[in-house]
Amino acid sequence: MRLACLAVGMDCGLGVVHADVKGRDSMVLDLMEPLRPVADEFVLSLFARRPVRKAEVVEDARGVVRLRAPLTWDLAQGMAAWRDDVGRLVEEVATLLSRSSPYDVAVPAVLTRSKHRQVARTRLPGIEPGPVVRASVTGGTNRRKPRQRPAPGVQKLERRCQGCGAIIEPEPGRAVSRFGWCPECLPERRREAASEAQRQSRGRTQSHSAAATAKRRSANGDQRLAEQSFELAHEGEAFDREWYLREVLPGLAAHSTVEIAGATGMSTSSASKIRKGRVPHPRFWQALQGMASPQ
pLDDT tens profile 123-159: 656 555 555 444 444 444 444 445 555 555 545 567 7
For 28, other C-beta atoms within 10 Å of its C-beta total: 20
Position 228 in a domain: no
Judged against a pLDDT cut of 60, whether residue 24 lies above it is answered with: yes
Res. 27: pLDDT tops 90? yes
Give the pLDDT of residue 137: 40
Residue 160: Cβ within 10 Å count: 13
Total structural domains in the chain? 3
Co-location of 7 and 81 in the same domain: yes
Q: Given 94, 123, 152, which residue is the final one in a domain?
A: 123
Tell me the range of 45-54, 189-198, 207-216 where mean pLDDT is highest: 45-54
Q: Which pLDDT does position 176 carry in this prediction?
A: 75
- 191 and 103 assigned to the same domain: no
Q: Work out the pLDDT band at 26, boundaries 50, 70, 90.
A: very high
- pLDDT for position 29: 93
Residues 6 and 118 in one domain: yes
Residue (of 45, 16, 43, 47) closest to 31 by Cα position: 16
Residue 225 is assigned to a structural domain of this protein:
no
Domain containing 201 equals 167-206
136-140-146-150 Cα dihedral, nearest 10 degrees: -110
pLDDT at 58: 93
Res 156: pLDDT: 56
Domain boundary pick from 64, 99, 123: 123
Provide the pLDDT for residue 32: 93
What percent of the chain clears pLDDT 70, i.e. is strictly above it? 82
**188 with 253, same domain?**
no
What's the CA gap between 184 and 200, in Å, rounded?
A: 26
User: In terms of domains, do 89 and 199 share one?
Assistant: no
| 23 plus 119 within the same structural domain | yes
**CA angle 48-51-54, nearest 5°?**
150
Q: Where are the alpha helices (DSSP H) in 207-267?
A: 210-233, 241-243, 257-264
Tell me, yes or no, whether 33 and 91 share the same domain: yes
Does residue 220 lie in a domain region?
Answer: no
Same domain, 13 and 101: yes
Cβ-Cβ contacts under 8 Å for 138 (sequence gap 6 or more):
98, 99, 104, 105
Does the pLDDT at position 84 exceed 80? Answer: yes
The more confident residue out of 202 and 231 is 231
Minimum mean pLDDT range among 29-33, 108-112, 133-137, 239-243? 133-137
Residue 70 in any domain: the answer is yes
- Top pLDDT among 122 and 222 is at 222
Asked whether residue 233 is assigned to any structural domain, the reply reads: no
Q: What is the pLDDT of residue 180?
A: 81
- With H, G, I as helix, E, B as strand and everything else as coil, classify residue 62: coil
Q: How confident is the model at residue 64 (pLDDT cuts 50, 70, 90)?
A: very high
Average pLDDT over residues 243-247: 87
Q: Of 102, 123, 144, which one is at a domain's C-terminal end?
A: 123
How many of the other CB atoms lie within 10 Å of CB of 291?
17
Question: Whole-prediction pTM value?
Answer: 0.41
Looking at residue 123, its pLDDT comes to 64
